[in-house]
Structure 1
Amino acid sequence: MRRRCSVRMQTAVVHYALMLVVCCAPCGSVAAAEGHFNILTDAHGYSAGGHTLVPLRPIAQWLGARVTYNAPRIQVALGSTLIALSVNSSKATINGRPVTLSVPARVYGGITCVPLRFVAEAFGLKVSYHAGEDAEMDKTSAIPVVMLSGAGKTARVLVHEEPPDVVARVVADLEHTTQTEGRGADAFKFDLGSYGFDWILRVTKVHGGYFISSVPAQWGEPYFDTPGLRQTFSAEAAGVYGYRGGRWVYIAGFQDVPSHDYWVRELGIPAAVAKAMGIQLQHY
């Protein structure tokens, strides 16, 4: 469908429903989103059995801590605070004081995860959990978010339904995929290899594959009325959040330069994530 939109930001979100064979992959370095909050893109949270687990190393390093791993022992030094724990154990110490974790520290494909509550206590962080907001157009893209605050810093950790090693492998598989097809109100094709990813927002298992929400580094080559028209993410990608039925709905699309219209798709990414990226929300 077509809808005329005003450009108020230069961030757009693309959804993919990909039936992927997951390949092995390392986790990259911690990245920061633009705006007032960091999004720890490699600190993939994991909700399992009523517990929220988060990767220890990227959060510790975001705070400026030094992490030493000598299997199965882990030590984290942050200023005058020394934290010690072991993999597969629910026992830990903070400056020598015994602490019991709600569930043992676990390793998922080389990524050590600990309970969120332990991270808060160990680093003196204030933690708030925001369940994913239902999106009017696409309820599968509601994204639970954990906000971490302390030492004058604030960051968000996105919580997935799949363990962090699975998320990392899916991300790597996407990065090695050469072509796929975006599907929306009007289907178009683009080259994954030409734009990459800035942020993976969510990975959800769907029908034997994985549903991906991501923010692209730049758009590839969309096909409009003008075949072969090449537009970059920073220059032409446009989107706004629309407020519909009491919910924010993301409107994303490409500019059709000759007519100055937009081919748009309606995607339901929570407003909290948009604010974390410094995106200006508006009604439409």
Structure 2
Amino acid sequence: MPIRVSRPIEIQVDGRAVEVAASALSVNGTTLVPIRVAEALGAQVSWQSETHTVKLIKDGRTILLDAEQGTATIDGAKVPLPAKPLVAAESVLIPLRFVSEAFGAKVDWNAETYTVEIVLASR
């Protein structure tokens, strides 16, 4: 069962704050954020409503997140997700750490400031 995060979470990519349209949610210890956050990682983002699938493409890597099955496909290989993507308040929410790390980014949590700090891999 999803729970709202008790206070707003700030998301930074390479030190720059990322604005989010919907509140982050926590599901079993996994932070879910609107799919548009993936654009800040440099990914092309699309939601395929007929299949309930999020498609993310960056630097030749394709990630499909299946909201019904709770699985991801990364370049053709199926892997489990820590939490299913959710449709909430007209936003699609995805697991932030999973997606960031799948694109090679380093992810840290700063508990004092409630900030997710993402550092993109060198290009």
Q: TM-score range by the shorter chain?
A: 0.7 to 0.9
**Partner of 2:15 in structure 1?**
37
Change (3 A) 1:45 1:95: same
**Structure 2 residue ranges without an equivalent (≥5):** 1-11
The DSSP-based 3-state class of the residue aligned with 1:128 is strand
Q: TM-score, normalised by structure 1?
A: 0.34
% identity of equivalent residues: 33
**Structure 1 residue ranges without an equivalent (≥5):** 1-31, 133-142, 154-284
Greater percentage in helix: 1
Greater percentage in strand: 2
**Partner of 1:65 in structure 2?**
43
Deviates more, 1:78-87 or 1:41-50: 41-50
Counterpart pick for 2:121 among 144, 151, 167: 151
The DSSP-based 3-state class of the residue aligned with 1:118 is helix
The DSSP-based 3-state class of the residue aligned with 1:120 is helix
The C-alpha deviation readout for 1:5-48, integer Å capped at 9, x for no partner, is xxxxxxxxxxxxxxxxxxxxxxxxxxx9xxx7211121643334
The DSSP-based 3-state class of the residue aligned with 1:119 is helix
Alignment of 1:98-117 (within 5 A): 98-117=78-97
Alignment of 1:54-203 (within 5 A): 54-58=33-37, 60-71=38-49, 72-132=52-112, 143-152=113-122
Bigger Rg, structure 1 or 2: 1
Change (3 A) 1:92 1:48: closer
**Is residue 109–residue 117 contact of structure 2 (8 Å, CA) maintained in 1?**
yes
How far apart, CA to CA, are the structure 2 residues paired with 1:50 and 1:73? 22
Change (3 A) 1:98 1:128: same
1:94 is displaced (CA, Å) by: 0.6
How far apart, CA to CA, are the structure 1 residues paired with 2:16 and 2:59? 22
